[in-house]
Amino acid sequence: SMSASDGDVERAPLLVDSKFAAQNGSTTDLIAADEAEAAQIIAKGGVMGFLFSLGRKMKYDSEANDAVDKQQQQKQQGLAKVLSVWQLTFLGVGMIIGAGIFTIVGKAVREAGPGIIVSMLLVGVTALLIALCYSELSSNIPVAGSAFSFVYVTFGELAAWFVGWNLILEYTVAAAVIARAWANYLFAFLTSIGVRVPTFLTPSSAGSSIVSFNVIAAIILLLLTLLVAYGVSESASVNTVVVIIKVGILIFFSAYGFANVKSVNYSEFFPHGSNGVFKGAAVIFFAFLGFDGVSAMAEEAQDAKRAMPRAIMGSLAICSVLYCCTGAALVGLVNYAKVSTEDPLSDAFRDSKPLSGLVALSAVCGITTAIIGAILGQSRVYLSMARAGLIPRAFAAVSSTRSTPILATALSGIPAAAMGMALRIDIIANLTSLGACAAFILVCASVLHRRYARKAGHWTLMRRIFSL
């Protein structure tokens, strides 16, 4: 059953202030208050004032939000706070270690050569700085929606609308990309153990450079969508088990690679110079995406103010170490010019079917958790956008029995399944970083604005920027 009364659907933690908590009114009261402030800015600033009015934002009051959360938990409404810091950390690791390390690392190695280690360090430092911003905001604003919610509270509705749809693009495309990679590795694993896959299940291009049918990719997306809709606690438990398996196999790959490294493969460390290192970093950045998805689960975390920063930073640290070790082992085993761009880790063991199959199994596990993370993150963004009225409010409804946004989850999984079934991976993969880049820029700007605005007032920073 779905709790979809006006009070439940319109209630959104990021839209709550003390007045809302006391009166339990609709969000229109808060919008009206912000519109009055916007009217004053318009009167003073002319056209620029009108642009500023588009930055109408909602207030976040942590005490009022906690009170509303307690009330909803007692009524068994809304999202359940069931995720521990360990579950959140494993969710982060599951989201980060996905298709990137198992597929895109091959393209990055071709660009950077053994210098891929430096490329990964550069990306790791960049991701660390971004993760610090996410940690601070998710601790101060522990609500569902990730960057959408942070930007809504900080910059207002127009910027949040832009970020929200960019996040939808990112998550949808990412889910489709990694689902197709999942299907490819599943076929590789089944082939390594001697299982013949029926022809109708194998990918088919249908004579088109854009369309490439992949039924298995659609099936796995729909199945995992059902899992996420069933319950976040169950999804987190499955994720934890699978993460342990794939991390163990990656550690084995790195240990085997370092034990059998060919020093001659490191002789030309920067074959394409610094330009190749930066190109490799740009390509491999896709593999580090995912830590931002942890922040989307803040509303379902136990003691979110402490758990979120630890989970975000912890998952990124674990994955950065694993990535550097895996990249170093890969270029030590295989000359960078011969590294496969399709399934580089599995291809490194092409002379040994058992080891190749083991890596393929790790990829299947790794990509499974990345799909779960993408669907979880996207459904929470849809939930927050529906609460704010930017999409139909029906998608803000939360199941009273499963404590999950079932409609928002379906809206996340079904379009991704259609895209994953029909479009080629290289066509849609290039779209993924667009949404992430926009979100990262505005999240980092939100940290600067919130720190500055505490001393200088809400609109001061924007005024000074536009007056330059």
- DSSP code at position 197: P
pLDDT of 224: 92
Report percent pLDDT > 90 for the chain: 9
**Among 461, 436, 464, 460, which residue's Cα sits nearest to residue 131?**
436
Backbone angles phi, psi at 294, to 5 degrees: -60, -40
Question: Where residue 425 falls among pLDDT bands split at 50, 70, 90?
Answer: low
pLDDT at 74 over 80: no
Q: Can you tell me the mean pLDDT for 444-461?
A: 67
| 379 vs 351: which has the higher pLDDT | 379
Residue range 130-177, pLDDT digits in tens = 989 998 888 888 888 888 888 888 887 888 888 888 888 888 888 887
CA distance 252 to 270: 27
Q: CA separation (Å) from 366 to 135, 162, 189, 314?
A: 24, 30, 13, 18
Beta-carbon contacts of residue 447 (< 8 Å; ≥ 6 apart): 133, 136, 137
pLDDT at 4 over 60: no
CA distance 452 to 122: 28
Question: Where residue 440 falls among pLDDT bands split at 50, 70, 90?
Answer: confident
Give the torsion through C-alpha atoms of 110, 99, 300, 417, to 10 deg: 140
pLDDT of 429: 56
In this structure, are residues 228 and 413 in contact, taking their beta carbons and an 8 Å threshold? yes
Q: Can you tell me the mean pLDDT for 228-238?
A: 89
Report percent pLDDT > 70 for the chain: 74
| 179 vs 78: which has the higher pLDDT | 179
The residue count of the chain comes to: 468
pLDDT at 298 over 80: yes
